[in-house]
Structure 1
Amino acid sequence: MQKKDSFLINRLKSVGFAYKGMLLLIKTEASIQVQLFIAIAVTIAGFYFEISTNEWLVQLTMIGLVMSLEAMNTAVEHIANFIHPEYHIKIGLIKDVAAGAVFIASVIAVIVAGIIYIPKFS
């Protein structure tokens, strides 16, 4: 019988798998690359304009939300394509809804960025 790894070892392995998944997304998915570029740009803007702690909290939350949803959308697309590689109306609907979630978060993120940064230009 094989000895079971400790709780701590299992958590460290999980973090390793998550890190590997994040790197895979960044290396292979154009949508995540675009989101990462935007995240870096608004982070630089945050330092340049010296945004407040609350503005940082909201900005970082939006970056995390959009990028996380983009990652989940990618996962949904991969699962859907694996289950049904050829076009199917239901699979198309599932993929559209997942993409719609990213779109909603992205629109709200742009609005939040406008609320934070437009007053800085006045």
Structure 2
Amino acid sequence: MARSNFSWKDRIRSFSYAFNGLKIVWQEEHNFRIHLIAAVVAIVLSYLLRISPYEWLAIIFSIGFVLVSELLNTALEHLADFVCQERNPNIKRIKDVAAAAVMLSSITALLIGLIIFIPKLLLWCSLAQLF
């Protein structure tokens, strides 16, 4: 019987690499911080407006979608810069496409947020006028 190479110590260590990646992105990427602030605003608004469990799923998925897109974009940009330090039109195209992915995920998240929050905010405003 072959011995497994599985190690709890190695699994726990792999989390430290992931947390280090988050620390790097937090320190170096302004857009990641902006997305994280928007995520906190969405979570607070979701809580205050008492959104449904399915709406929570949409909000949480949207937040994850944007943050993962930003992380992958950052990793790709760093890799491209490592591979080719000089200006290169092919590298620029790669970076532009990766940036477009972040933009598309952000627009998608914004639309989901608007669909969920606007009716609830309009209702809240109409109820506030009654008092």
The bucket for the TM-score relative to the shorter chain is: over 0.9
Residue identity in the other structure for 1:20 = N
Residue identity in the other structure for 2:59 = Q
Find the counterpart in structure 1 of residue 68 from structure 2: 68
Q: Deviations over 1:79-114 (max 9, x none)?
A: 111111111000000001111111111111011001
- State percent identity of aligned pairs: 34
Larger radius of gyration, structure 1 or 2? 2
Q: Deviations over 1:20-61 (max 9, x none)?
A: 111111122101010011001111101110111111111001
Q: Deviations over 1:1-24 (max 9, x none)?
A: xxxx85211110111110111111
Q: Distance in 2 between matches of 1:88 and 1:119?
A: 47
**2:105 matches 1:105:** yes
Q: Distance in 2 between matches of 1:26 and 1:44?
A: 21
Find the counterpart in structure 1 of residue 7 from structure 2: 7
Residue identity in the other structure for 1:71 = L
Find the counterpart in structure 2 of residue 22 from structure 1: 22
Alignment gaps of 5+ in structure 1: none
Q: Distance in 1 between matches of 2:64 and 2:7?
A: 27
Query: What CA RMSD, in Å, does the superposition of the two structures yield over aligned residues?
Result: 1.4
Q: Distance in 1 between matches of 2:6 and 2:115?
A: 47
**2:42 matches 1:59:** no
- Give TM-score scaled by structure 2 length: 0.86
- Shift of residue 121 of structure 1? 2.0
Give 1:21-60 correspondences, 5 Å limit: 21-60=21-60
Alignment gaps of 5+ in structure 2: 123-131
* Number of residue pairs the alignment of both structures matches: 119
- Give TM-score scaled by structure 1 length: 0.93
